Amino acid sequence: MKIIDVRAIQPVGKNSPPDWRTSLGQILVAIDTDCGITGYGVGGGGLAGIHVVKTVLRDLLLGQSPKDISRLWDEMYQSTLAFGRKGLAIMAISGVDLALWDLKGKAEKVPVVSLLGGQPGQQLPTYCTVWNTQDLESIDSHAGYKLHLGKVSNAGQQDEMIQAIETARTLIGPDPLLMVDAWMKWTVESTIAISRAIEPFQIDWIEEPLSPDDLSGYAQLSEQSAVAIAGGEHEFTAAAFTQLIDQKLHTVLQPDVCWCGGMTELIKIYKMANRAGLRVCPHRGAEIWALHAIAALDPDPLAETGRPWMTWVTGQPEIDGGLISVTDRPGWGLTFDEQSLELVY
Ligand SMILES: [Mg+2]
């Protein structure tokens, strides 16, 4: 089997941005082979990511066998090293890597979960991310909830945030997990203060309080925060996660498989974290791309609800009664009707 084309497009999704800005510009990568099988993956970077796929990664992959994904990943990393390493070049590689895993599953007629040593069909618990406490007024049956404070996390709003977290716990009751997402907007000092104030509300983790570059800040928090620290959705490659894991800077690691380098990197992150006794809880884990890994590799599975801009991903399993599972369909188990997709690019 040989690769005969590598294509990348950005479909229009509900509430998706009009161009490639921020991490929301998700791209669909399609890899065609000479035996008629097409593999699909999703990466990030919008138009800029598409440009990396079309002008660098496509040339590298044409004529190659898609089978040795690890070698192809290394070649893609090396070919983008001078301008890549983190950010949108790795987001583009992620989409290609996931398409290669789809091809592997389809060629062997098994789902990706089976390639990873797991079984399809296992019922996995989910947690639901919400952007305000009103969304918690009528909760369903998720194992947990995460209050995203990204829009109100500025300095001077500490009391408002603590009040919102207390309200969230009151609304969901004592049993479900409750997490808080600061989206890189707090400081070491404010995180320590808030962690102490919210500890009585049984908070399972504080997510991304600091910039991913502030490793010394995270080292301080690992000693002084009263609540476990989670992070990693804006970190790239397993090599970067090695530092987070070796120094135990996060208790919960949250790689995004569509951004961090794809399944090839997520597998390495799971192995390192499992050895170190740390938890992996992939960003947007209920979306199909990470869900296969959660089903196969996770000793304590918990899948985060997906995002509305991925509505063009057809065949994504639904959450039912707070649970979700992957099917036994080959590859990711998805189908794409490329002709019917409305495109941003
Ligand atoms: Mg987050």
Kindly list the protein residues that place their beta carbon closer than 5 angstroms to ligand 1, a single-atom ion.
Answer: 181, 207
Residue 155 has a pLDDT of 61
The candidate with the shortest Cα–Cα distance to 283, out of 245, 319, 235, 222, is 235
CATH of the domain at 20: 3.30.390.10
**Residue 63 falls within a domain, yes or no?**
yes
Distance (Å) from CA 336 to ligand 1 centroid: 28
Annotated catalytic residue 283: yes
Residue 153 has a pLDDT of 63
**Residue 258 falls within a domain, yes or no?**
yes
CA distance 339 to 50: 18
For 308, the domain range is 115-324
Residue 314 has a pLDDT of 86
For residues 263 and 316, membership in a common domain is answered with: yes
Which residues pair with residue 230 across a beta bridge? Answer: 207, 252
CATH of the domain at 245: 3.20.20.120
Distance (Å) from CA 232 to ligand 1 centroid: 8
For residues 120 and 52, membership in a common domain is answered with: no
For residues 102 and 164, membership in a common domain is answered with: no
SS (H, E, C) 277-311: CCEECCCCCCCHHHHHHHHHHCCCCCEECCCHHHC
pTM of the model: 0.97
Are 66 and 103 a contacting pair, CB within 8 Å?
yes
Distance (Å) from CA 128 to ligand 1 centroid: 12
**Residue 275 falls within a domain, yes or no?**
yes
Dihedral-angle region of residue 23 (phi above 0 means left; psi in -120 to 50 means alpha; beta otherwise):
alpha
Distance (Å) from CA 283 to ligand 1 centroid: 7
**Residue 10 falls within a domain, yes or no?**
yes
Distance (Å) from CA 126 to ligand 1 centroid: 15
The helix or strand, by DSSP H or E, that contains position 6, with its residue range, turns out to be strand 3-9
Tell me the three state secondary structure of residue 231.
strand
Positions in the chain whose pLDDT score sits under 50: none
Distance (Å) from CA 181 to ligand 1 centroid: 6
**Residue 331 falls within a domain, yes or no?**
no
Q: In degrees rounded to 5, what are phi and psi of residue 332?
A: -80, -15
Query: How many domains is the chain partitioned into structurally?
Result: 2
Residue 221 has a pLDDT of 98
3-state SS of the chain: helix, strand, coil percent to 5? 40, 15, 45
For residues 96 and 190, membership in a common domain is answered with: no
**Residue 249 falls within a domain, yes or no?**
yes
- Residue 80's Cβ-side half-sphere holds a number of Cα atoms within 13 Å equal to 28
CA distance 12 to 6: 20
Catalytic choice (142, 148, 234, 283): 283
Q: In degrees rounded to 5, what are phi and psi of residue 100?
A: -65, -40
**Residue 260 falls within a domain, yes or no?**
yes
Residue 23 has a pLDDT of 60
For residues 98 and 133, membership in a common domain is answered with: no
Distance (Å) from CA 236 to ligand 1 centroid: 15
Q: In degrees rounded to 5, what are phi and psi of residue 327?
A: -90, 180
Distance (Å) from CA 337 to ligand 1 centroid: 31
For residues 129 and 97, membership in a common domain is answered with: no
**Residue 345 falls within a domain, yes or no?**
no
What single letter denotes the amino acid at residue 286?
Answer: A
